[in-house]
């Protein structure tokens, strides 16, 4: 009986492990939020009330038609440029420059073995300044602190261009062997971005025509509507979409029992790539991505408002009345007079 209970517990533990192995550590930061959402009324677990409200929102009818379409395309970069910062100090200007040149030459030799040639490397000089130290001069009743030059510091950035992401590992190795560890950034470049925007525009125009046909089927004559338009385009690079989290568990029951303090350690901050999600887009080109990509989007919004009905003007009839006056003289004669009353 004990063996069967033990086997049952092992099976349950295995199932829990298998279902959680793809969860990832970053969910640590949302653990408390998930627990709060479970404590809602009823038996159902509502993890995102905002999404639930959007699903069950009430539609409002209107005679104003709106066509709002969005398209997104994930584009792999044509070329990449990695920027590393180098800092070198030396006793003299000549010696400092020589040491820096030796480090850069060693990087170039190692990169050349990985099909990254001289034309793919550029050097950017940042600063070349003297370095001062403080000398202490002791006197009988005082001390004097004097700054004196002790050497020079040279800073340069090395730009390395490559075309495949698997080349980056060899670039890191070549720089590390020359004691270069400061990776400043990695830039992404697209050779012809106009082609991408044209493709997005064509996709949106097709979608707009389909929606116009849909409204016409519903009985709307779009020729009787005025049109207003707004459009936008944008381009986002991977560096804009890295988010951070800290995955750790810091609990000490022994410290609580012995009533002693805990010396906290520095927790490592991790980063992960979180691109734009697709729920608000009508068209997504290359939706499945393996590596960070450039995300290029375009939006077009059309608003159709009914044209005002033309009012027919009623003809204005003007009746002119000529006023005549009769003047009777004392002898009984009648004289007819017309007076001008138009002025």
What confidence tens digit (pLDDT) does each residue in 201-260 have? 999 999 999 999 999 999 999 989 999 999 999 999 988 888 888 877 666 666 666 666
Please give the residue that has the higher pLDDT: either 139 or 79: 79
The predicted pLDDT at position 143 comes to 78
Say whether both 131 and 265 belong to one domain: no
The predicted pLDDT at position 339 comes to 55
How large is the C-alpha radius of gyration of the chain?
A: 40
**What pLDDT, in 10s, does the model give residues 99-142?**
999 999 999 999 998 889 889 999 999 998 888 887 777 776 77
Please give the residue that has the higher pLDDT: either 334 or 19: 334
Position 130 in a domain: yes
The predicted pLDDT at position 242 comes to 86
The predicted pLDDT at position 331 comes to 73
Please state the domain count of the chain: 2
pLDDT-above-70 percentage for the chain: 72
Say whether both 157 and 267 belong to one domain: no
Pair 322, 225: CB distance under 8 Å: no
Position 74 pLDDT exceeds 50: yes
Say whether both 224 and 274 belong to one domain: yes
pLDDT band at 265 (very low <50, low <70, confident <90, very high): confident
pLDDT band at 39 (very low <50, low <70, confident <90, very high): very low
The predicted pLDDT at position 144 comes to 78
**What pLDDT, in 10s, does the model give residues 45-57?**
444 555 555 666 7
Mean pLDDT of the chain: 79
Asked which of 12-21, 60-69, 195-204 is least confident by mean pLDDT, the reply is: 12-21
For residues 147-163, average pLDDT: 89
Q: What CATH number is attached to the domain comprising 131? A: 3.30.70.2970
Say whether both 185 and 239 belong to one domain: no
d(CA 161, CA 171): 10
Point out the domain boundary residue: 189, 217, 232: 189
Point out the domain boundary residue: 189, 206, 229: 189
Position 89 pLDDT exceeds 80: yes
**What pLDDT, in 10s, does the model give residues 302-315?**
999 998 887 777 77
Position 171 in a domain: yes
Sheet arrangement for strand 121-138: 121-138, 143-162, 79-90, 182-189
Point out the domain boundary residue: 144, 159, 189: 189
Which residue range(s) make up the domain with 151? 80-189
Asked which of 14-23, 139-148, 200-209 is least confident by mean pLDDT, the reply is: 14-23
Position 14 in a domain: no
Position 94 in a domain: yes
Say whether both 99 and 222 belong to one domain: no
Pair 231, 299: CB distance under 8 Å: yes
Say whether both 211 and 281 belong to one domain: yes
b/e map 84-117, b = 16+ CB within 10 Å: bebebebeeeeebeeebeebbebbbebbeeeebe
Tokens read off for 294: 């450039």
State the pTM of this model: 0.67
Tokens read off for 262: 């805990």
Position 1 in a domain: no
Position 109 in a domain: yes
Say whether both 173 and 96 belong to one domain: yes
Say whether both 196 and 71 belong to one domain: yes
pLDDT band at 66 (very low <50, low <70, confident <90, very high): very high
Position 159 in a domain: yes
- DSSP assignment letter at 261: -
Say whether both 194 and 285 belong to one domain: yes
Say whether both 248 and 100 belong to one domain: no
Say whether both 132 and 167 belong to one domain: yes
Say whether both 210 and 73 belong to one domain: yes
């Amino acid at each position: 009986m004990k063996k069967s209970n033990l086997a049952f517990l092992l099976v349950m533990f295995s199932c829990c492990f298998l279902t959680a192995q793809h969860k990832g550590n970053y969910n640590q930061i949302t653990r408390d939020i998930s627990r709060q959402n479970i404590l809602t009324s009823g038996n159902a677990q509502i993890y995102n009330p905002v999404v639930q409200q959007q699903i069950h929102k009430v539609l409002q009818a209107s005679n104003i038609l709106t066509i709002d379409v969005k398209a997104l395309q994930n584009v792999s970069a044509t070329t990449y440029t990695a920027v590393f910062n180098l800092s070198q100090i030396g006793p003299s200007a000549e010696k400092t420059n020589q040491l820096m040149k030796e480090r850069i030459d060693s990087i170039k030799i190692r990169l050349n073995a990985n099909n990254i040639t001289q034309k793919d490397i550029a050097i950017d000089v940042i600063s070349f300044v003297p370095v001062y130290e403080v000398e202490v001069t002791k006197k009988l009743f005082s001390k004097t602190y004097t700054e004196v030059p002790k050497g020079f510091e040279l800073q340069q950035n090395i730009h390395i261009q490559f075309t495949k992401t698997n080349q980056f590992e060899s670039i890191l190795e070549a720089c590390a062997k020359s004691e270069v560890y400061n990776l400043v950034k990695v830039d992404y470049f697209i050779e012809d971005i106009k082609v991408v925007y044209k493709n997005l525009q064509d996709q949106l125009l097709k979608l707009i025509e389909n929606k116009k046909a849909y409204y016409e089927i519903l009985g709307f004559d779009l020729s009787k509507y005025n049109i207003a338009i707004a459009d936008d385009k944008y381009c986002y690079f991977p560096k804009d979409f890295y988010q951070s989290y800290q995955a750790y568990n810091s609990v000490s029951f022994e410290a609580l029992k012995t009533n002693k303090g805990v010396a906290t350690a520095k927790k490592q901050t991790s980063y992960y790539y979180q691109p734009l999600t697709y729920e608000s887009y009508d068209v997504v080109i290359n939706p499945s991505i393996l590596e960070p990509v450039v995300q290029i989007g375009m939006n077009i919004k059309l608003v159709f408002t009914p044209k005002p009905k033309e009012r027919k003007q009623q003809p204005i009839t003007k009746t002119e009345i000529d006023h005549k006056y009769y003047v009777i003289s004392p002898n009984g004669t009648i004289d007819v007079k017309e007076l001008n009353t138009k002025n």
